A = this chain, B = another copy of it.
Amino acid sequence: MNEFELIRKLTRNLPTNKSVVNGPGDDCAVLDIGAAGSLALFKTDSVVEGIHFTRETPPEKIGRKALARCLSDVAAMAGTPTAALITIGLPKNFSVEFVQKIYDGLNALAREHDVAIVGGETTVNPERIFISVALIGSIPRGSVLSRSGAKVGDAIFATGELGGSITGKHLDFEPRLAEARWLAENFSIHSLMDISDGLAGDLRHILTASKVGAELLKIAIPISREAKEIAKRGDAAKPAFVAALTDGEDFELLFTVASKDAVPLLDAWKQKFPDLRLSCIGKIIAGEGITLRDEAGARPFTGHGYAHFS
């Protein structure tokens, strides 16, 4: 049973109440806790030594990554982050300086995005460092942007360049908060999420939630220089376009809009964010799953992204 199957099983019949606008299954939970103009976003995300970083990772980058992942989930709702709590499980022989540097990286990113760090907890996890970040944010009331709104005919967009994040970007990525809010404020975005487990796997979450399929243009997939370099290194490596479709931890935005909005959006984006590539990578079609089109024709793409336990 992989991570997604386990989550599906566990999230059946969870307790709910009148505060819940959106429960499990999207980038953040959405709660109505009585603010006149806004809804609350609620998210947790964790990083574990040996999985998401190593003892050799600079500690500032560990802390930065732990918070940035949560911020990327807030971006995936076009939201604004407010406050975070930090839980750190530590081996008994931890270095205080190392832990302080984890916080230094985390605090610096929090200040960039005006996020308050309002406490947390230290506990013992004898074999490895385990960091969980809990985050509260907000979105304007009435503007819930979920994974389930993609419509047949929509253009599919991705920010940045994909694949090969393991060479460094997974520690240094910029959560796309400003970009996502700008998109939501200026265009009718049908569906939005962040690419955390690989473009193909994450796009499938949108397709499943929206009950549609997607046709991607192979030539339009924005492949990172890192993915291309890794692909050149040896026969064992996956082709660069497959890396762009399936490598995890890109933390770019993936979204769909009505096709009529695609060109105006691209034009406005280039004015607003000239340094961040935006690619129209395909379109939403009837059916299910991902079809990949190249000069030889169209065929199903079945490659998966990252899943724990798989």
List chain A positions with a Cβ less than 8 A from chain B. Answer: 1, 3, 6-7, 9-11, 13-17, 19-20, 22-25, 29, 31, 33-38, 40, 42-46, 48, 50-51, 82-83, 85, 87, 89-90, 92, 94, 96, 99-100, 103, 107, 110-111, 114-128, 130, 132, 134, 136, 138, 308-309
Tell me whether A83 and B42 are in contact (CB under 8 A).
yes
Tell me whether A6 and B132 are in contact (CB under 8 A).
no
- Which residues in B have their C-beta under 8 angstroms from that of A123? 3, 46, 48, 51, 308
Pick the residue among B15, B33, B309 that contacts A38 (CB under 8 A): B33
20 additional A-B residue pairs with CB within 8 Å, beyond A48-B123, A124-B308: A6-B99, A10-B122, A14-B117, A15-B110, A15-B116, A29-B119, A31-B118, A31-B136, A34-B36, A40-B136, A42-B85, A44-B87, A44-B134, A46-B87, A51-B124, A85-B134, A94-B309, A122-B308, A122-B309, A127-B127
Q: How far is the CA of A123 from the CA of B7 in the complex (A)?
A: 11
Residue of B nearest to A137 (CB): B33
- Which residues in B have their C-beta under 8 angstroms from that of A33? 33, 35, 38, 40, 82, 136, 138
Tell me whether B308 and A15 are in contact (CB under 8 A).
no
Q: How far is the CA of A246 from the CA of B17 in the complex (A)?
A: 38
Q: How far is the CA of A239 from the CA of B51 in the complex (A)?
A: 45
Tell me whether B29 and A118 are in contact (CB under 8 A).
yes
Q: How far is the CA of A201 from the CA of B248 in the complex (A)?
A: 45
- Which residues in B have their C-beta under 8 angstroms from that of A110? 15
Tell me whether B46 and A118 are in contact (CB under 8 A).
no
Tell me whether A126 and B35 are in contact (CB under 8 A).
no
- Which residues in B have their C-beta under 8 angstroms from that of A138? 33-34
Q: How far is the CB of A209 from chain B (nearest CB, A)?
A: 14
Chain A to chain B contacts (Cβ below 8 Å), 6 pairs: A16-B116, A17-B115, A24-B117, A25-B119, A31-B83, A122-B308
Copies in the complex: 2
Tell me whether A89 and B48 are in contact (CB under 8 A).
yes
Tell me whether B83 and A115 are in contact (CB under 8 A).
no
- Name A's interface SS: mixed
- Which residues in B have their C-beta under 8 angstroms from that of A6? 96, 99, 122
CB-CB nearest 4 A-B residue pairs:
A24-B119, A34-B35, A29-B118, A134-B134
Q: How far is the CA of A25 from the CA of B117 in the complex (A)?
A: 12
Residue of B nearest to A92 (CB): B309
Q: How far is the CB of A179 from chain B (nearest CB, A)?
A: 21
Residue of B nearest to A16 (CB): B116
Tell me whether B24 and A118 are in contact (CB under 8 A).
yes
- Which residues in B have their C-beta under 8 angstroms from that of A23? 116-119
Q: How far is the CA of A127 from the CA of B83 in the complex (A)?
A: 31
Tell me whether A48 and B122 are in contact (CB under 8 A).
no
Q: How far is the CA of A33 from the CA of B80 in the complex (A)?
A: 12
